[in-house]
Structure 1
Amino acid sequence: MLIEIFIITILAMIATGFWEAYMEGAHPWAEQQVGWTIQITKSYSLTAYHFFAFWIMFPLLLIVFPMVLLGFSWQLLGITISAFSVGLLVEDFTWFLVNPKFPLRNFNSANVKWYSWLKLGKFEIPLGYVIGIVISIASWFFLWRP
Protein backbone atom coordinates (compact mmCIF):
# COMPACT_ATOMS: atom_id res chain seq x y z
CA MET A 1 0.00 0.00 0.00
CA LEU A 2 2.87 2.41 0.73
CA ILE A 3 4.42 2.23 -2.73
CA GLU A 4 0.97 2.80 -4.24
CA ILE A 5 0.67 6.01 -2.18
CA PHE A 6 4.06 7.12 -3.52
CA ILE A 7 3.07 6.39 -7.14
CA ILE A 8 -0.35 8.07 -6.83
CA THR A 9 1.29 11.15 -5.31
CA ILE A 10 3.78 11.39 -8.18
CA LEU A 11 0.98 10.98 -10.75
CA ALA A 12 -1.05 13.71 -9.03
CA MET A 13 1.95 16.03 -9.10
CA ILE A 14 2.53 15.32 -12.82
CA ALA A 15 -1.12 16.26 -13.46
CA THR A 16 -0.57 19.43 -11.44
CA GLY A 17 2.44 20.26 -13.62
CA PHE A 18 0.19 20.08 -16.68
CA TRP A 19 -2.58 22.32 -15.36
CA GLU A 20 -0.14 24.80 -13.84
CA ALA A 21 1.77 25.06 -17.16
CA TYR A 22 -1.46 25.69 -19.04
CA MET A 23 -2.64 28.16 -16.42
CA GLU A 24 0.59 30.19 -16.28
CA GLY A 25 1.75 29.80 -19.88
CA ALA A 26 4.40 32.40 -20.71
CA HIS A 27 4.06 34.01 -17.26
CA PRO A 28 5.89 31.70 -14.85
CA TRP A 29 5.88 31.77 -11.08
CA ALA A 30 2.37 33.23 -10.97
CA GLU A 31 3.73 36.38 -12.66
CA GLN A 32 0.25 37.57 -13.66
CA GLN A 33 -1.80 36.02 -10.85
CA VAL A 34 -3.68 38.10 -8.33
CA GLY A 35 -2.60 37.98 -4.70
CA TRP A 36 0.37 38.83 -2.59
CA THR A 37 4.04 38.07 -3.15
CA ILE A 38 6.69 37.94 -0.42
CA GLN A 39 10.34 38.28 -1.42
CA ILE A 40 12.18 35.57 0.57
CA THR A 41 15.66 35.91 -0.93
CA LYS A 42 17.13 37.88 -3.82
CA SER A 43 16.09 35.17 -6.28
CA TYR A 44 13.10 33.55 -4.53
CA SER A 45 9.67 34.94 -3.84
CA LEU A 46 6.63 33.21 -2.41
CA THR A 47 3.34 33.95 -4.15
CA ALA A 48 -0.08 33.51 -2.57
CA TYR A 49 -0.97 30.90 -5.21
CA HIS A 50 2.13 28.79 -4.54
CA PHE A 51 1.79 29.13 -0.78
CA PHE A 52 -1.81 27.91 -0.67
CA ALA A 53 -1.37 25.21 -3.34
CA PHE A 54 1.99 23.74 -2.36
CA TRP A 55 2.34 24.50 1.36
CA ILE A 56 -1.27 24.19 2.54
CA MET A 57 -3.48 22.20 0.12
CA PHE A 58 -1.02 19.52 -1.06
CA PRO A 59 0.42 18.73 2.39
CA LEU A 60 -3.11 18.36 3.74
CA LEU A 61 -4.19 16.12 0.86
CA LEU A 62 -0.99 14.14 0.36
CA ILE A 63 0.43 13.87 3.88
CA VAL A 64 -2.35 14.44 6.42
CA PHE A 65 -5.28 12.82 4.56
CA PRO A 66 -3.64 9.37 4.19
CA MET A 67 -2.99 9.37 7.95
CA VAL A 68 -6.59 10.32 8.70
CA LEU A 69 -7.73 7.39 6.56
CA LEU A 70 -5.12 4.81 7.55
CA GLY A 71 -4.00 5.96 10.99
CA PHE A 72 -0.66 7.42 11.94
CA SER A 73 2.52 5.43 11.50
CA TRP A 74 6.11 6.59 11.11
CA GLN A 75 6.37 4.50 7.96
CA LEU A 76 3.31 6.19 6.41
CA LEU A 77 4.58 9.63 7.43
CA GLY A 78 7.94 8.81 5.86
CA ILE A 79 6.53 7.66 2.54
CA THR A 80 4.20 10.65 2.27
CA ILE A 81 7.04 13.08 3.02
CA SER A 82 9.29 11.34 0.47
CA ALA A 83 6.54 11.29 -2.14
CA PHE A 84 5.65 14.95 -1.56
CA SER A 85 9.31 16.05 -1.69
CA VAL A 86 9.97 14.19 -4.95
CA GLY A 87 6.52 15.16 -6.24
CA LEU A 88 7.30 18.86 -5.93
CA LEU A 89 10.31 18.61 -8.21
CA VAL A 90 8.52 16.23 -10.61
CA GLU A 91 5.63 18.72 -10.80
CA ASP A 92 8.00 21.60 -11.45
CA PHE A 93 10.00 19.77 -14.12
CA THR A 94 6.74 18.62 -15.78
CA TRP A 95 5.84 22.31 -16.06
CA PHE A 96 8.90 22.82 -18.30
CA LEU A 97 8.28 19.62 -20.28
CA VAL A 98 4.70 20.47 -21.25
CA ASN A 99 4.55 24.28 -21.29
CA PRO A 100 4.35 25.37 -24.94
CA LYS A 101 5.06 29.00 -23.97
CA PHE A 102 8.13 28.28 -21.81
CA PRO A 103 9.86 25.23 -23.32
CA LEU A 104 12.39 22.89 -21.75
CA ARG A 105 15.32 24.61 -23.48
CA ASN A 106 14.66 27.55 -21.12
CA PHE A 107 15.26 25.35 -18.07
CA ASN A 108 18.50 27.03 -16.99
CA SER A 109 19.72 29.74 -14.66
CA ALA A 110 19.79 32.34 -17.44
CA ASN A 111 16.04 32.03 -18.06
CA VAL A 112 14.66 30.78 -14.74
CA LYS A 113 15.42 33.67 -12.41
CA TRP A 114 12.87 32.68 -9.77
CA TYR A 115 15.12 29.88 -8.45
CA SER A 116 18.53 29.75 -6.85
CA TRP A 117 20.72 27.39 -8.87
CA LEU A 118 23.49 25.03 -7.84
CA LYS A 119 26.22 25.01 -10.50
CA LEU A 120 28.86 22.30 -10.87
CA GLY A 121 30.91 23.14 -13.94
CA LYS A 122 28.51 23.19 -16.90
CA PHE A 123 25.86 21.27 -14.95
CA GLU A 124 23.27 23.27 -13.04
CA ILE A 125 20.18 22.32 -11.08
CA PRO A 126 17.70 24.34 -9.04
CA LEU A 127 18.73 24.31 -5.39
CA GLY A 128 15.16 23.38 -4.45
CA TYR A 129 15.51 20.14 -6.42
CA VAL A 130 18.58 19.19 -4.40
CA ILE A 131 16.80 20.03 -1.14
CA GLY A 132 13.76 17.96 -2.21
CA ILE A 133 15.92 14.95 -3.04
CA VAL A 134 17.80 15.23 0.28
CA ILE A 135 14.52 15.46 2.25
CA SER A 136 13.11 12.48 0.37
CA ILE A 137 16.20 10.32 0.97
CA ALA A 138 16.40 11.35 4.65
CA SER A 139 12.72 10.52 5.11
CA TRP A 140 13.27 7.13 3.48
CA PHE A 141 16.41 6.41 5.51
CA PHE A 142 14.98 7.38 8.90
CA LEU A 143 11.27 6.57 8.58
CA TRP A 144 10.38 3.91 6.02
CA ARG A 145 13.29 1.95 4.57
CA PRO A 146 12.89 -1.82 4.79
Structure 2
Amino acid sequence: MTGGIVKPWQIGLTLAWVALLGLFFAQVEIQIEGAAGWAANLPTWRIESHWLLDIFWGGRPMTGYHAWVFPFIALFFHFPMIFLAQWSLRLECRAIGCIMLFWIIEDYLWFVLNPAYGVAHFNPAHIAWHKHWLWWAPTDYWVSLLLASVLLWFSYKRKS
Protein backbone atom coordinates (compact mmCIF):
# COMPACT_ATOMS: atom_id res chain seq x y z
CA MET A 1 0.00 0.00 0.00
CA THR A 2 1.88 3.03 -1.22
CA GLY A 3 -0.73 5.54 -2.33
CA GLY A 4 -4.07 4.76 -0.72
CA ILE A 5 -5.37 5.71 2.66
CA VAL A 6 -3.37 4.02 5.37
CA LYS A 7 -5.22 3.11 8.52
CA PRO A 8 -3.51 3.81 11.86
CA TRP A 9 -3.66 0.12 12.80
CA GLN A 10 -1.53 -0.69 9.74
CA ILE A 11 1.20 1.64 10.94
CA GLY A 12 0.87 0.31 14.49
CA LEU A 13 1.05 -3.28 13.30
CA THR A 14 4.16 -2.53 11.24
CA LEU A 15 5.90 -0.88 14.19
CA ALA A 16 4.86 -3.70 16.55
CA TRP A 17 6.17 -6.29 14.07
CA VAL A 18 9.51 -4.46 13.81
CA ALA A 19 9.70 -4.41 17.62
CA LEU A 20 8.92 -8.14 17.76
CA LEU A 21 11.66 -8.86 15.22
CA GLY A 22 14.04 -6.71 17.29
CA LEU A 23 13.14 -8.66 20.43
CA PHE A 24 13.76 -12.02 18.78
CA PHE A 25 17.04 -10.98 17.20
CA ALA A 26 18.23 -9.41 20.47
CA GLN A 27 17.64 -12.77 22.15
CA VAL A 28 19.54 -14.56 19.37
CA GLU A 29 22.50 -12.21 19.78
CA ILE A 30 22.45 -12.56 23.57
CA GLN A 31 22.74 -16.32 23.10
CA ILE A 32 25.56 -15.90 20.56
CA GLU A 33 27.58 -13.14 22.24
CA GLY A 34 26.78 -13.46 25.93
CA ALA A 35 28.26 -10.56 27.87
CA ALA A 36 30.87 -9.78 25.19
CA GLY A 37 28.94 -7.53 22.85
CA TRP A 38 29.94 -6.29 19.44
CA ALA A 39 31.25 -9.76 18.58
CA ALA A 40 34.17 -9.24 20.97
CA ASN A 41 34.75 -12.95 21.61
CA LEU A 42 33.49 -14.39 18.34
CA PRO A 43 35.90 -16.15 15.98
CA THR A 44 35.73 -13.48 13.30
CA TRP A 45 38.01 -10.97 11.65
CA ARG A 46 38.09 -7.41 13.01
CA ILE A 47 39.17 -4.00 11.81
CA GLU A 48 39.63 -2.10 15.04
CA SER A 49 40.20 1.39 13.71
CA HIS A 50 39.93 3.21 10.43
CA TRP A 51 38.84 6.74 9.67
CA LEU A 52 35.82 5.46 7.72
CA LEU A 53 34.70 3.53 10.81
CA ASP A 54 34.74 6.81 12.74
CA ILE A 55 32.46 8.42 10.15
CA PHE A 56 30.06 5.61 9.29
CA TRP A 57 30.29 3.18 12.19
CA GLY A 58 30.45 5.43 15.24
CA GLY A 59 34.07 4.45 15.87
CA ARG A 60 33.15 0.81 16.47
CA PRO A 61 35.20 -2.01 14.95
CA MET A 62 34.06 -3.69 11.77
CA THR A 63 33.82 -7.45 12.17
CA GLY A 64 33.10 -10.31 9.84
CA TYR A 65 30.01 -11.03 11.93
CA HIS A 66 28.61 -7.54 11.36
CA ALA A 67 29.68 -7.50 7.72
CA TRP A 68 27.27 -10.42 7.17
CA VAL A 69 24.53 -9.66 9.72
CA PHE A 70 23.80 -6.10 8.60
CA PRO A 71 23.18 -6.93 4.93
CA PHE A 72 21.27 -10.08 5.95
CA ILE A 73 18.81 -7.98 7.95
CA ALA A 74 18.52 -5.46 5.09
CA LEU A 75 17.76 -8.29 2.66
CA PHE A 76 15.24 -9.72 5.12
CA PHE A 77 13.32 -6.43 5.29
CA HIS A 78 13.33 -6.17 1.50
CA PHE A 79 11.96 -9.69 1.01
CA PRO A 80 8.28 -8.63 0.85
CA MET A 81 9.07 -6.40 -2.14
CA ILE A 82 10.85 -9.26 -3.89
CA PHE A 83 8.15 -11.77 -2.99
CA LEU A 84 5.37 -9.51 -4.28
CA ALA A 85 7.46 -8.19 -7.21
CA GLN A 86 6.55 -4.68 -6.14
CA TRP A 87 8.87 -1.76 -5.59
CA SER A 88 8.40 1.96 -5.15
CA LEU A 89 10.29 4.79 -3.55
CA ARG A 90 7.75 4.81 -0.73
CA LEU A 91 8.18 1.09 -0.06
CA GLU A 92 11.96 1.50 -0.12
CA CYS A 93 11.72 4.35 2.40
CA ARG A 94 9.46 2.19 4.56
CA ALA A 95 11.90 -0.72 4.44
CA ILE A 96 14.90 1.46 5.30
CA GLY A 97 12.98 3.24 8.07
CA CYS A 98 11.96 -0.12 9.53
CA ILE A 99 15.54 -1.38 9.34
CA MET A 100 16.73 1.66 11.27
CA LEU A 101 14.04 1.20 13.94
CA PHE A 102 14.83 -2.51 14.11
CA TRP A 103 18.49 -1.84 14.95
CA ILE A 104 17.61 0.71 17.66
CA ILE A 105 15.12 -1.66 19.27
CA GLU A 106 17.35 -4.72 18.89
CA ASP A 107 20.39 -2.97 20.33
CA TYR A 108 18.51 -1.52 23.30
CA LEU A 109 16.84 -4.85 24.07
CA TRP A 110 20.20 -6.62 23.81
CA PHE A 111 21.35 -4.55 26.79
CA VAL A 112 18.11 -4.57 28.76
CA LEU A 113 17.51 -8.33 28.43
CA ASN A 114 21.14 -9.42 28.68
CA PRO A 115 21.83 -10.74 32.20
CA ALA A 116 25.29 -9.17 32.03
CA TYR A 117 23.85 -5.64 31.62
CA GLY A 118 20.21 -4.80 32.32
CA VAL A 119 18.69 -1.33 32.46
CA ALA A 120 21.01 -0.26 35.30
CA HIS A 121 24.07 -0.74 33.12
CA PHE A 122 22.68 0.99 30.04
CA ASN A 123 25.12 3.90 30.18
CA PRO A 124 28.48 4.94 28.71
CA ALA A 125 30.41 3.67 31.73
CA HIS A 126 29.39 0.08 30.96
CA ILE A 127 29.10 0.13 27.17
CA ALA A 128 32.46 0.88 25.61
CA TRP A 129 31.49 0.30 21.98
CA HIS A 130 28.88 3.09 22.01
CA LYS A 131 31.36 5.94 22.19
CA HIS A 132 29.02 8.89 21.67
CA TRP A 133 25.99 9.49 23.91
CA LEU A 134 23.33 12.19 24.02
CA TRP A 135 21.28 12.31 27.19
CA TRP A 136 20.45 8.71 28.18
CA ALA A 137 21.09 6.93 24.85
CA PRO A 138 23.79 6.47 22.23
CA THR A 139 23.84 9.23 19.61
CA ASP A 140 23.25 6.58 16.94
CA TYR A 141 19.80 5.96 18.41
CA TRP A 142 18.77 9.60 18.10
CA VAL A 143 20.12 10.05 14.57
CA SER A 144 18.56 6.78 13.41
CA LEU A 145 15.24 7.59 15.10
CA LEU A 146 15.09 10.97 13.37
CA LEU A 147 15.97 9.53 9.95
CA ALA A 148 13.62 6.56 10.39
CA SER A 149 10.78 8.90 11.38
CA VAL A 150 11.27 11.02 8.26
CA LEU A 151 11.45 7.94 6.02
CA LEU A 152 8.37 6.35 7.58
CA TRP A 153 6.42 9.60 7.47
CA PHE A 154 7.19 9.92 3.76
CA SER A 155 6.34 6.27 3.12
CA TYR A 156 2.92 6.57 4.76
CA LYS A 157 1.88 10.10 3.78
CA ARG A 158 -0.89 10.55 1.27
CA LYS A 159 0.06 11.39 -2.27
CA SER A 160 -0.81 14.99 -3.08
Q: Same fold (TM over 0.5)?
A: yes
- Alpha-carbon contact 2:18-2:101 (below 8 Å) kept: no
In the alignment, which of 7, 29, 49 is matched to residue 16 of structure 2?
A: 7
Point out the structure with max Rg over C-alpha: 2
Amino acid across the alignment from 2:122: F
Post-superposition Cα deviations, 1:69-90, rounded to whole Å, max 9, x if no partner, equal 2300222222211111111000
Amino acid across the alignment from 2:34: G
Q: Which residue of 1 aligns with 2:75?
A: 60
Tell me how far apart the structure 2 counterparts of residues 47 and 113 of structure 1 sit (CA, whole Å): 16
Does residue 129 of structure 1 match 2:141? yes
- Alpha-carbon contact 2:90-2:154 (below 8 Å) kept: no
- Alpha-carbon contact 1:78-1:144 (below 8 Å) kept: no
**RMSD of aligned alpha carbons:** 2.0
Does residue 48 of structure 1 match 2:78? no
Post-superposition Cα deviations, 1:1-41, rounded to whole Å, max 9, x if no partner, equal 66344433331121001111122112111110011112223
Could you tell me the TM-score, scaled by structure 1's length?
A: 0.84
**Structure 2 spans left out of the alignment, 5+ residues:** 2-9
Moved over 4 A (4+): none
Q: How does 1:1-146 map to 2 (within 5 A)?
A: 3=11, 4-38=13-47, 39=49, 40-41=53-54, 43-54=59-70, 56-62=71-77, 64-70=78-84, 71-119=86-134, 123-146=135-158
Tell me how far apart the structure 2 counterparts of residues 105 and 10 of structure 1 sit (CA, whole Å): 21
Q: Percent of counterpart pairs with the same letter? A: 26
Structure with the higher strand share, 1 or 2 = 1
